[in-house]
Structure 1
Amino acid sequence: MIDVSASPTAAELDAADPLAAFRQEFHFPPGPDGRPSVYLCGNSLGLLPKAARAAVEQEFVAWEQRGVEGHFHGESPWMHYHETLTDATARLVGARPLEVVVMNSLTVNLHLLLVSFYRPTATRYRILMEGGAFPSDQYAIESQAHLHGLDPADVIVELMPRSGEHTLRTADIEAKIQELGDSLATVLIGGVNYYTGQAYDMAAITRAGHAVGAYVGFDLAHAAGNLELQLHDWDVDFACWCTYKYLNSGPGGTSGVFIHERFAQRPDLLRLAGWWGHDPAVRFQMKKGFRPMPGAAGWQLSCSQVFPLALHRASLAIVERAGGMPVLRRKSEQLTAYLEHLIRAVGLPSSQLEIITPSDPAQRGAQLSLLVHQRGRELFDFLAQEGIIGDWREPNVIRLAPVPLYNSFEDVRRVGDALTRFFK
């Protein structure tokens, strides 16, 4: 963690950074002055890894030279391509290989999981989620309620912060779960809230949900590649995530799925079935009667999308070479602490600017959300003119996310300097 009292310079911090060289493995959009931009928008879309083109080109060559035989021959036959990502994906989210698969896109996977893990009855039918969740989650849950002939207004229970607060307290989440009790079918919460940047205590939430007999799952869109996750040990039932934010796998990139191993040998568990999730030993017999593969792979539907998987494979390889999430998380905590320190050093009153993301590193990832009460859009545009790329969320929030794989402490210093100039 940054020792603020020691007032280290950005140059000193970058010189001591064991991950500094990884910055050279990414393409940065140029800023208005021609210098590489200060890219702090990895919470929305990560940068392009330089290795990505070669990874996809390899599959173009396989297609060109082998045609359909690329499914069965070559360096990475497409028939088993998704399996080349399994071990790294398991390490990424703290899972066992049987519990993960990479497929489809995020909201598609969310629906597939809810088919299995939202099974309402006459008395147990409610879903608990955080208020202000990302719209895809809201829409998915609304439509799942409709699929069961239920009224979303009766099904969905939203968690809201206490008056005057911006984030949720773990104790309040646990209390609401206990209050809902036997009426609660499923808990579905984002691992990190996209708007506030709050990271939730997933282990505590899972324990509380299981105590009342509910399934517990997480949308990890803003958590995968950002937080150090232990999904298996936390006893989470299901989770899914995208790979185009902190995992740098391209716009609209592929998605990961986690399903706890206790469901691995449950062919009776209701799911939407597809050919690619069928037992590979008899898949090509083309017979009726779905026989799911064990584990998360049994939720696959269609043939693997090789080109998105190739992009993701290239990015995962960088994460692995960097030392995985424990190493990335250590630097992330330092970067975010340094950014918070520089923002607070500007000395603005909360009536003008608030950091609504928790200060406790255990309750946040890389992102800081700035609630700008005055001249918010003007500040955002000024930062863009300075070559600082964040993102704007209505009505007046600027999200900034220094990513440990490619952002430097010098990047963060430039943000602090820009804020000082704007507010002087």
Structure 2
Amino acid sequence: MNIHQSTRTYAQQQDQTDPLRTFREQFLIPEKDGQPQLYFCGNSLGLQPKSAREAIEREMNVWQNHGVEGWFEGDQPWLYYHKYCKETLAEIVGAKPSEVCPMNNLTVNLHLMLTSFYQPKGDRTRILTVAGDFPSDQYALETHVRSRGLDPSEVILAVKPQEGEYTLQTEAILNAIRENERSLALVMMSGLHYYTGQVFNMKAIAAEAQKWGIRVGFDLAHAAGNAPLHLHDWGVDFAVWCSYKYLNSGPGGVSGSFVHEKNHDANLPRLAGWWGYDEDRRFEMTPGFVPMPGADGWQLSTPTILALAVHRASLAIFAEAGMRNLRNKSVKLTGYLEFLLKGINGEFDNPITIMTPTEPEARGCQLSLLVRKDGKKLFDDLTQNQIIGDWREPNCIRLAPTPLYNTFEEVWQVGEVIREFYQ
């Protein structure tokens, strides 16, 4: 029995009893014409923490006062900055601190991981992925395979949804692994599909791949800081993500990588840079690459300290709020939006199809809406009413109620604007 109510009073009551309600105050809400906007686009770019500017200013002062010695002086030397982020990152993705490292950018990290974990040999040359994954991942796989002298059309196997369905059934992915176990060298796919909002059963996928000795990796761009992750326990070989969506670390913010500890001592091929070299010997400037232990050994260049400072400021908010608490609120927020949209469908002959699975464990914050008619007009109407979502051609609106800064009353307002559009 659904206990939600489609009234503003109900939504306000939910906000009043929300244990995370004060976290919204830690973010800068965009305004237009002096009015705060309803921001439902954290799936594309998260909002700015108020602490971000102070974090950057601190490192600017270090630069001003210490110059190059900022790498070594003070209570938080730049040389170890990536380590300041590890504990919280590990909690967010379900890993050990030694298995994670903030570094580079997402597609750079993906290529680095493919170099290490995609090892075509004999009959095992193929990569299993999902159809319609984020374009950057598609391009990375395509060009990486071609750089190995292989034909992407022969090597890349993309699993598609069944006819008439928008999302992939887990069994279809598992069957594809079983049916191609002798030819697969790697399973590499998103953990949460950017377009449909579907969270894939990464635990089951990793287990099936491991059963056949196939390595597995995930792009968690839309999952990190959003969906529950247990990468270490699942035995995932590697994962990569960005920090500018749900992790609120600024446009083009630093990426992150996970490498399971079972692979730390493996003699894996890699593309190396000096920041991944043994920290104690890095400044000896000697030939012969000696990697740092753990995920740190995949670092390349000198890190961008200002970007890391913003990232660290945002991670501090996650550490304070707790992923379990954020997830609990997320389930309720997105569930409330779904409830309101279903009410609108019942009232106006189903103008909207929710592509995203209805089961909480199969989705994060985001709902992807297929609008039967005049989708762009509806999106423009939302925008005119100060609601910031995301439009995807030809007829998809993505809305992501984010637990750190969105409210139940905002969700209710979105529902009211859509209802009024169809009246």
Pair in the same fold by TM > 0.5: yes
Instruction: List structure 1 segments (4+ residues) > 6 angstroms apart after TM superposition.
Output: 5-8
Question: Distance between the aligned counterparts of 1:265 and 1:58, measured in 2?
Answer: 37
* SS of structure 1 residue aligned to 2:414: helix
* Map of 2:288 onto structure 1: 289
* Distance (Å, rounded) in 2 between the aligned partners of 1:329 and 1:159: 29
Report the TM-score when normalising by structure 1. Answer: 0.97
Q: Does 2:189 align with 1:201?
A: no
Instruction: Tell me how far 1:352 sits from its aligned partner.
Output: 2.7
What residue identity is the alignment partner of 2:225? G
How far apart, in 2, do the equivalents of 1:264 and 1:64 lie? 38
Instruction: Indicate if the aligned counterparts of 1:98 and 1:264 stay in contact, CA closer than 8 A.
Output: no
Q: How far did 1:347 drift?
A: 2.5
Q: Is the 8 A contact 2:344 2:350 kept in 1?
A: no
Distance in 2 between residues matched to 1:111 and 1:2, nearest whole Å: 46
- 1:78-93 equivalent positions in 2, closer than 5 A: 78-93=78-93
Distance 2:60 2:280 in 1: 28
| Aligned equivalent of 1:413 | 412
Are 2:44 and 1:24 equivalent residues in the alignment?
Answer: no
1:88 Cα deviation after fit: 1.0
Check whether the contact 1:279–1:293 (CA below 8 A) recurs between aligned residues. yes
Across the aligned residues of Structure 1 and Structure 2, the Cα RMSD in angstroms comes to 1.4
- The 8 Å contact of residues 146 and 152 in structure 1, kept in 2 or not, is answered as yes
Query: What is the CA deviation profile of residues 106-141 of structure 1, one whole-angstrom value per residue up to 9, with x for unaligned ones?
Result: 111011000001111131011111100000000000
Partner Cα distance (1:344, 1:403) in 2? 20
Pairing 1:157-172 to 2, within 5 Å after superposition: 157-172=157-172
TM-superposed CA distance for 1:2, in Å, is 7.1
Amino acid aligned to 1:288? P
Aligned residue among 331, 334, 341 for 1:333: 331
Say if 2:345 and 2:352, in contact at 8 Å, map to a contact too.
no
Aligned-pair distance for 1:351?
6.0
Which residue pairs with 1:397 in the alignment?
396
What is the identity percentage for the equivalent residue pairs of Structure 1 and Structure 2? 54
Q: Is the 8 A contact 1:2 1:334 kept in 2?
A: no
Q: State how 1:224-263 maps to structure 2 within 5 Å.
A: 224-263=224-263
Distance 1:2 1:352, change over 3 A: closer
1:9 pairs with 2:7: no
On the 8 A contact 1:2/1:337 being kept in 2, the answer is: no
Structure 1 CA distance for aligned equivalents of residues 214 and 188 of structure 2: 10
Which whole-Å CA distance do the structure 1 matches of 2:412 and 2:4 have between them? 14
Question: Amino acid of the residue matched to residue 280 of structure 2?
Answer: A
How much has 1:6 moved relative to structure 2?
10
1:341 is aligned with what amino acid?
F
Gaps of 5+ in 1: none
Q: Give the match's secondary structure for 1:311.
A: helix
SS at match of 1:370: strand
> For the structure 1 residues 118 and 234, does the alpha-carbon distance in structure 2 shift closer, same or farther, using more than 3 Å as the test?
same
How far does residue 3 in structure 1 lie from its aligned partner after superposition?
A: 3.1
Answering whether residue 369 of structure 2 is matched by residue 370 of structure 1, we say: yes
Contact 1:240 1:255 in 2 (8 A): yes
> CA contact under 8 A between 1:199 and 1:363: conserved in structure 2?
yes
1:71 partner amino acid: W
Correspondence for 1:343: 341
The aligned amino acid for 1:380 is F
Contact 1:2 1:338 survives alignment (8 Å): no
One-letter code of the match for 2:421? F
In the alignment, residue 391 of structure 1 is paired with which amino acid? D
C-alpha distance in 1 between matches for 2:163 and 2:349: 16
Partner amino acid for 1:104? N
1:280 maps onto 2:279 in alignment: yes
1:153 is matched with which residue? 153
Does the CA-based 8 Å contact 1:174-1:205 persist in structure 2?
Answer: yes
Task: Tell me if the contact between 1:119 and 1:125 (Cα under 8 Å) persists in the aligned partners.
Answer: yes
- For 2:189 and 2:284, locate their aligned partners in 1 and report how far apart those are by CA, in whole Å: 40
CA drift of 1:280 comes to 1.4
Matches of 2:268 and 2:17, distance apart in 1: 51
Contact 1:182 1:213 in 2 (8 A): no
**CA–CA separation in structure 2 for the residues paired with 1:25 and 1:351:** 38
Paired with 1:298 and 1:93, the residues of 2 have a C-alpha distance of 19
Q: 2:126 and 2:358 mapped to 1: Cα distance? A: 32
* Alpha-carbon offset, residue 164 of structure 1: 0.9
Match of 1:104 in 2: 104
Report the secondary structure of 1:281's partner residue: helix
Q: 1:53 to 1:178 in 2, by over 3 A?
A: same
Structure-2 separation of matches of 1:255 and 1:311:
12
For structure 2, list consecutive stretches of 5 or more residues without a partner in the other structure.
none
- Alignment length, in residue pairs? 421
* SS state at 2:239 partner: strand
TM-score by length of 2: 0.97
Q: Aligned ranges for residues 281-320 of structure 1 at < 5 Å?
A: 281-320=280-319
Deviations 1:35-92 (A, max 9, x none): 2111000000000100000000000000000000000001310111111111111111
Opposite residue 132 of structure 2, the aligned amino acid is: G
Matches within 5 A, 1:200-219: 200-219=200-219
What residue is the counterpart of 1:36 in the other structure? Answer: 36
Decide whether the 8 Å contact of 1:355 with 1:370 is kept in 2: yes
1:173-212 deviations in whole A, cap 9, x for unaligned? 1001000111001111111000000000000000111112
SS at match of 1:282: helix
Separation (CA, whole Å) in 2 of partners of 1:373 and 1:343: 14
Cα pair 1:184 1:212 within 8 Å, conserved: no
- In structure 2, C-alpha distance between the alignment counterparts of 1:105 and 1:145, rounded to whole Å: 20
Distance in 2 separating the partners of 1:12 and 1:270: 56
From the superposition, tell whether residues 312 and 350 of structure 1 become closer, same or farther in structure 2 (CA, over 3 Å): farther
